[in-house]
Amino acid sequence: MLKLVASFGFARNIRHMKKEVERLPELFLERLRRIIPSQKWNGIANTFTEARPTTFRVNTLKASPEVLQERLEHQSFRLEKVSWCPGAFILRSGRLRELQETETYKKGEIYVQSLSSMIPAIVLDPQPGEKILDLTAAPGSKTTQIAHLMKGEGQIVANDNNKIRFFKLKANIELQGITNVELTLRHGESFGREHPESFDRILLDAPCSAEGRFLVHEPSSFHYWKPAKVKEMMRKQKGLLFSAVSALKPGGVLVYSTCTFAPEENEGIVSWAFDKFPGVIEIESIKLPLTNQGSGLTAWEGVSFNPSVKRTVRILPTPDMEGFFVARLRKL
């Protein structure tokens, strides 16, 4: 199955948690302490205090990673290869604004994307010639990655129900020169009813409370957070996942992912789907040789999940990677 060939370590084991971490919502931190391994707590908590470096993927439909790396380094950028994601780089020297001013960026030869965000499409493992659905696609980071992995062959349906985000998706698809994508502006909950068992693979990178993106020095990244937000996201996620399972062909693969830590939005949703479709889906193991990963939780706040959710993966934050959750389901 899936194989990646390198790893990123856990955040550095720092003796003390930085004081500014306490600016994050108190209840969020209390919940997070029950999720993060205690021996890793200080180092992981401190990742919320510093912005992560710019990372990007090469658009392999337009450019060669080797040629592009040489070109950008000739322009005084210093790049570090991401060995587990071919064609991905960390910008170690140079600023995002400077990168955006290059012809390489303006021609759509690269796509700026966080490292953790690159994992779901790799786990999905789309193949040339297949019919793929990206159910909540805007602004297009994973849609474009799927198209690159498919080498432009096959059909991708990229959907979003937010009009402003939809046009950002459209612009990114056009800039990247991708021609095998059908764009739809619809509620994702409708696909299961209107297109039952129609897709070989489906990616549901679900809307979520986005806890993995909290930054202490950007209050706008977390000021909205409260338990009610988690519950609101749960309702949306259940509707979307029910639709996705219904739209998936028998034998097909569905990847569910979020950029949040909340078990209610992660293992809880996958366990709910497993029970909602008895004998219809199975949770597959994911092999990612990353040292900053952990297995899914099997219980939370007195609620036990289906034991199979232990096969899901939690990506723990590091100075280079944000927190993420990924599950791979197969329809029987």
The kind and range of the H/E element at 248 are strand 248-258
Choose, from 183, 245, 255, 259, the residue flagged as catalytic. 259
Q: Is 80 exposed, middle or buried (0-12, 13-18, 19+ CB in 10 A)?
A: middle
Residue 248 C-beta-side C-alpha neighbours within 13 Å: 29
Distance, in Å, from the CA atom of 137 to the CA atom of 186, rounded to the nearest integer, reads 11
Asked if 259 is an active-site residue, the reply is yes
Distance, in Å, from the CA atom of 141 to the CA atom of 165, rounded to the nearest integer, reads 12
Q: Which residue has the tokens 């959710």?
A: 309
Q: Give me the active site residues, please.
A: 259
